[in-house]
Amino acid sequence: MCATCGCSDTGTPRITNLETGQTNSLASHHHTHVHGKHDAGHDQHSHDHEHTLILEQAILSKNDRLAERNREWFQENNILALNLVSSPGSGKTTILEHTIRVLRESMAISVIEGDQETLHDAERIQRTGCRVVQINTGAGCHLEADMLARGLEELKPPAHSLLLIENVGNLVCPALFDLGERTKVAILSTTEGEDKPLKYPHMFQSSSIMILNKIDLLPYLTFNVEKCLEYARMVNPHIQIFQVSATTGEGMAQWYDWIGAQMKSMTDKVGSPC
């Protein structure tokens, strides 16, 4: 079992280029979860726990170094990389689809899709006309910086563009693994509990943006919006929140405007004198 969240490390991560249809194994990738022994005895348990913590610290440190390389590459190429994180079923892919269709005329957009299995979400993105690469993590519960680097080699996003990363549906490990993105975007839907920010504080602390999706369903639910926003700001007072319905389009203009402002800010920095 994974020492962080309980997932397994069986299965081989794979990367698929939807344009070429080619799938390659990421067999050289060593899944970073640490699996301790479960022998009887307090001393053995204490030793294993200490050993696990030391290994996890080393693993996260290595991931952070690789993430910094990704971040430098994004900065050198003036690419706005957004890491979309959420529970399964929050509406990440639907938000991506609508975002691509609205913004593709004003900016170049590429997508890296992360899922344990299937090409379903990548195929949905491909139907928008957007370039996309699928990373299947096998039994892994999150993307990591080296996986993203391999995805970037395959995708080759152009300079001065928007890169949207849809992480594996999970509110635990993706909070710990920096990919080198400019911003984490936590997506929460009204069909989930309003106390998610309190239950998973690390995710909402590490995210600059929260999108509250499926607000069109509020008349049919007992979801308390004000409590949800209060809880999110309790764990992250600086978080910026958009309330949207990806299905009806309500509130999505604010999200599009935010992306546009971020892209303009990058362009202005590149064009400004030293």
The residue among 125, 184, 130, 128 whose CA lies nearest residue 157 is: 130
Are 179 and 143 a contacting pair, CB within 8 Å?
yes
Which of the residues in the chain have pLDDT under 70? 1-11, 27-59, 271-274
Q: Which amino acid is at 168?
A: V
pLDDT score recorded for residue 138:
87
What is 40-271's CATH number? 3.40.50.300
Residues 6+ away with beta carbon under 8 Å from 114: 135, 137, 142, 143, 147, 165, 166, 167, 168
In which element (H, E) is residue 50 found? helix 42-76
Contacts 24+ apart (CB under 8 A), 13-16: 13/135, 13/136, 13/137, 13/138, 13/140, 13/147, 14/135, 14/136, 14/138, 15/133, 15/134, 15/135, 15/136, 15/147, 15/150, 15/151, 15/154, 16/119, 16/122, 16/133, 16/134, 16/135, 16/136
Q: CA 4 to CA 145: how far, in whole Å?
A: 17
Q: What share of the chain is helix, strand, coil (3-state, %, to 5)?
A: 40, 20, 40
- Predicted local distance difference test score (pLDDT) of residue 10: 56
Give the separation between CA 174 and CA 83, rounded to whole angstroms.
Answer: 9
Question: Structure pTM?
Answer: 0.84
pLDDT reported for residue 274: 40
pLDDT on residue 55: 53
pLDDT of residue 36: 39
pLDDT tens digits, 209-231: 999 999 999 999 999 999 999 99
Q: How far is CA 171 from the centre of its chain?
A: 10
pLDDT at position 40 is 45
Domain ranges for the chain = 40-271
Tokens describing residue 138: 């096998």
Going by C-alpha positions, the residue among 144, 212, 213, 137 that lies closest to residue 178 is: 144
> What pLDDT shows up at residue 272?
58
